[in-house]
Each structure stands twice: as C-alpha cells, then as structure tokens.
Amino acid sequence: MSTEVRTESSIAANGPGVWTRLRTTLWAYRLPILVLGGLVALLYRPVVGYDFVTWDDPWYIVRNTHIQSWHPEHLWAIATEPIARNFAPLTIFTFLVEHTLWGLWPGGYHVTNVLVHAINAVLVFVLLRQVTGRGGIGWAGAVLFAVHPVQVESVAWISSRKTLLAATFTLASLICWLKRERTGRDEAWGLLWLVLGLLCKVSTVVVPPIVFVFDVLVRREDRGEAIVRQVVPAFFCAMFVLMTASAQFTYIGGVRGHFGMNKLHLLAVDAVILWKYVGMLVAPSNLAVLYDPPTVGIAGQMALSIAGWGLVAWLAWRERERHPLVTFAAAAWILLLLPMLNLFPLTTLMNDRYLYLPCIVFFGVAAAGAEAAFRWIVERWPALQAGTAARLVPVTAGVLLLTAVGGTYGCLTTRQLPVWRDGASLWSHAREVTPTLAVVHIEWANVLHEHGRDEEACAVLVEALEECRPDEADRERIRRKLSEWRTETAGHLGAVESR
C-alpha cells in the first residue's frame, strides 16, 4: 500500500510540473501569441471560404482513398508510400484526422493551415530573439514572416501543409539546438523535432548543417566535436533523402526542362534565381503558382549573379570573427534554400513556398541592419544622446518602419489571396503571369473541362502545342486529352442530334 501511495504521489508531483512549465511558457509568450496570431487570423480569414485547387489537392485529399478510413491497410500505406513526389507520412496523417472530422469541407483544412502558420510566426519570434539576443529583431522578423505575400502560397494552398508542418518542427528543433549554452535535454528534444519534421517533408534535412555552422562560428566549438554531434541527426536525414529522391521521378507534372542540365549550368541558373528571390522579398509582384525563369541566353546575368554572391560570401567570411552571426546568417540562407536548388531533381526551378523558411534569415538581417542604422544616427546626433531620447528614438523609428513595411506587405497579401480561391482563379492568374508554360495551359484546360467547356479547353491545349514548346511528356498528355475530350464532345453532339 505504501509503495502505491508513493507512486501516486510521485506521479502527482511530476504531472503538475510538466503542465506548470507549459503554462509558464505560454504565459511568457502571451504577447507574441496574441499579436502574431491575431495578425495571421485577420489577414487569412477569407481562406475559410476557399475551395480545393486542381494542383496536388486531388492527390493529397480529394482522391486519396488512404485518408478516408482508419483501416490498418490505409494506415500502412500512409506510413510507407510517397504521394505526389513526397514521402510525408505525418502530413498525410493530419489529412486523415481532418477527413474524419469534416470530410471534404475545404474550410477545415484551410483553418488548420492558418493555425499552423500562426504557430510558426510565434516560433520565428522565439528563435530570432534567442539567436540575436534582441527582442526588436525577433518582433520585426516574426511580423514580416507572418504578413509577407510570398507566404500566401504556403498558407492558402492546402497541399502545402507539408511545408508548414516541416517548418514547425524545423523551427522547434533549431530553437533547441541554436543555444550558446545547450544541454543534453535540448539536443534530445531537437533530435525528436527533427525526425517529426522529416516525417512531414524532407526539406528538414537542413537542420544538422545549420547547427554545425552555428556551433563552429558562434559557439566556437572544435569542428571535429561539432561534426560528431551531428552524426545521428545526419543519419536520419540521409534515410529520408533516399526515400524521397526516387519519388521525384514517379509523378508527371510541373516543369522539367532543367532536368537535362549539367550541375554547373544548373548552379549558374540558381545564382540568378537567388537574386530573384531577394527581389521577391523586397518588392513582391507578379507572384504565381509557377514560374518560367530563363535558363539559356542569360550568360551575362549568370556572371553578374555569381560575382554578386561571391562578393556576399567574401564579406560574410571576412566578418566571421567580429560578427559571427552575420556569417552564420549567410550560411543559413544558402542551407535553407539548398534542398530547392535542384541538386536533387525537383519538378520546379522556382516557387514562392521555397522561401517560407529562408525569408526568416532575410528579415532578421534586414531588421538588424535597420536597428544598427537607427543607433548610428543617434550616436552622431548630439541632441538625441540624452538618456531617454537615446532609448526611445530607435524604438519609435523601428515601430514606425515596421508598421509601414508590414502594413504594405499585408495589403499585398490581401490582394494575392483571391488567386488561391479555387482552380479557376489560380490557373487564370497563372496564364497571365507565366503564359509560356505548357503545364499552366494544361491545368487551365482541365478547369475548363471540369466546367463542361470542352471546346474552349481543346483550344487552350492546341495553343499550348503551338506556342509553348512542351516537352515530350507534356505533348503526350495534351494529345491524350485532346483525343478524349473531342470524343466526348462528338458524343454529346451526336446525342443532341439524335433527339
């Protein structure tokens, strides 16, 4: 009896401790939770009324029989089979849970995406404040992360759940690992979040190299010790890379013109695209579901882009002793984008969702630069060097600048959101922005066909054949669809005439 009492007492003692720590953490971050969550909810409230789109949503949800039942056969398939080029069992499991809750009501799936994005915004605040030691940088980075229009694709597209969830666990893992004073418990939790992230999307593989760079540059650890510490995380990452790589060739769709490039040519194109990404983060415009960046005839752009990134790399390396966080930021920017640079073939060269996590580095550096600029002005303006003014002027200027920039990006986000209302709005907009891509015309034709406008759909496919130079796979898809739809149209006409 006494043993049972002691056991119950110990459980009672340990249980409240866990919940107390959780309540303490939530209370400590109540302000960012309320502010960032409110911003995300305010901006993305229209998506509750949005539909599924004809871009991966049918594969992940609408036609996915595995999420329609909890039968062991379906659970095994979710745990072992890639879907739409991705091995993401935890992501698919969330769709199983949601399908159980609300079936094929798209609003429920959209609400989940918005909630996960809000959680990620809070995690961005925690991570930036922890790494930089500056609350202002944490706030600026988190607000811009929450409201920037480049995030619309990741949040408003249900199938981008894998990006959102992988980001959640990536951020949680980095919060555990990127500490100047780190415990064994931190590393254990960091490993757990890493594995969960890999189960959502393989892009989480960036965590071990980012942690290695942080340990060497910021914590000043010996390289050998830092590498040994990442052996187990790297093992899990390698497993998931191998499981995902083969799936990239099993799905027809996307853009594949870059598949035949040698790696040097591809890296040169990537250098150009990286500068395009910087431009998208500074002044986002003409955002679309797919892009058609040029890959030939741009030797001058490639040379300038490579030279520009070479200069950035040299400046960052030169500052590694005085400003290790600057060098770390440069390395983290490249590492976060590395899975999307097509060193392992992907069916797109460039997407908005590829910036979902890398933008954190950009916004953090921009916020740090703005803060340094404000302090530089105060130091050189004697009238502002009084105690109160020296504190208030940079803070006030920072708040006003963040409000202006964040408000501008928020307005652009509200304008971009309706693009993702349904398949018709998505692909009609894509035809305006990227009319040169055959896949865009094919998807627009699919929308027309679903609405019974077969003649228009066939005309769109013929236009794609004549003007978009589709590759052989897309050419075959177009021919097959033309044959099927023309047969259906002829059958309908014959039925009408027989009446």
112 and 54 in a single domain? The answer is: yes
Q: Is residue 189 part of a domain?
A: yes
> Which structural domain, as residue segments, surrounds residue 53?
13-416
The number of domains in the chain is: 2
134 and 256 in a single domain? The answer is: yes
Q: Is residue 340 part of a domain?
A: yes
347 and 440 in a single domain? The answer is: no
**Which ranges of 199-262 does DSSP label H, i.e. alpha helix?**
207-217, 223-229, 231-245
Q: Whole-angstrom Cα distance, residue 428 to residue 396?
A: 43
Q: Is residue 1 part of a domain?
A: no
Assess contact for 54 and 447: CB atoms under 8 A.
Answer: yes
Q: Whole-angstrom Cα distance, residue 201 to residue 404?
A: 34
Note the pLDDT of residue 399. Answer: 86
385 and 461 in a single domain? The answer is: no
pLDDT in tens, the chain (499 residues): 344 334 333 433 444 455 777 788 788 888 889 999 999 999 999 999 999 998 999 999 999 999 999 999 999 999 988 887 778 999 999 999 999 999 999 999 999 999 999 999 999 999 999 999 999 999 999 999 999 999 999 999 999 999 999 999 999 999 999 999 999 999 999 999 999 999 999 899 999 999 999 999 999 999 999 999 999 999 999 988 887 766 555 445 556 566 667 788 889 999 999 999 999 999 999 999 999 888 888 999 999 999 999 999 999 999 999 999 999 999 999 999 998 887 766 668 889 999 999 999 999 999 999 988 888 877 777 666 666 655 676 777 788 889 999 999 999 999 999 999 999 999 999 999 999 898 999 999 999 998 889 889 999 999 998 888 888 888 888 999 998 888 876 655 454 444 4
Note the pLDDT of residue 1. Answer: 39
* Helix (H/G/I), strand (E/B), else coil: 231: helix
Q: Is residue 6 part of a domain?
A: no
- Give the end of a domain, one of 382, 416, 450: 416
* Helix (H/G/I), strand (E/B), else coil: 86: strand
Q: How many CA atoms lie within 13 A of 40 on its CB side?
A: 29
The DSSP secondary-structure symbol of 68 reads G
Note the pLDDT of residue 245. Answer: 67
143 and 75 in a single domain? The answer is: yes
362 and 493 in a single domain? The answer is: no
478 and 353 in a single domain? The answer is: no
User: What is the SS3 string spanning 280-300?
Assistant: HHHCCCCCCCCCCCCCCCCHH
Which residues, in sequence order, are CB contacts of 190 under 8 Å at separation 6+?
173, 174, 176, 177, 207, 211, 233
Which residues, in sequence order, are CB contacts of 103 under 8 Å at separation 6+?
none
Q: Is residue 140 part of a domain?
A: yes
439 and 412 in a single domain? The answer is: no
Q: Is residue 428 part of a domain?
A: no
Q: Is residue 4 part of a domain?
A: no
Which of 402, 337, 391, 318 is CA-nearest to residue 366? Answer: 402
392 and 441 in a single domain? The answer is: no
Note the pLDDT of residue 340. Answer: 83
- Give the end of a domain, one of 416, 444, 474: 416
Look up the pTM and report it.
0.90
Q: Is residue 184 part of a domain?
A: yes
Which of 42, 41, 214, 31 is CA-nearest to residue 139? Answer: 31
482 and 368 in a single domain? The answer is: no
Assess contact for 363 and 145: CB atoms under 8 A.
Answer: yes
239 and 349 in a single domain? The answer is: yes
- Give the end of a domain, one of 416, 448, 472: 416
53 and 179 in a single domain? The answer is: yes
Q: What is the dihedral of CA 366, 369, 371, 376, to 10 degrees?
A: -160
Note the pLDDT of residue 396. Answer: 79
Assess contact for 224 and 253: CB atoms under 8 A.
Answer: no
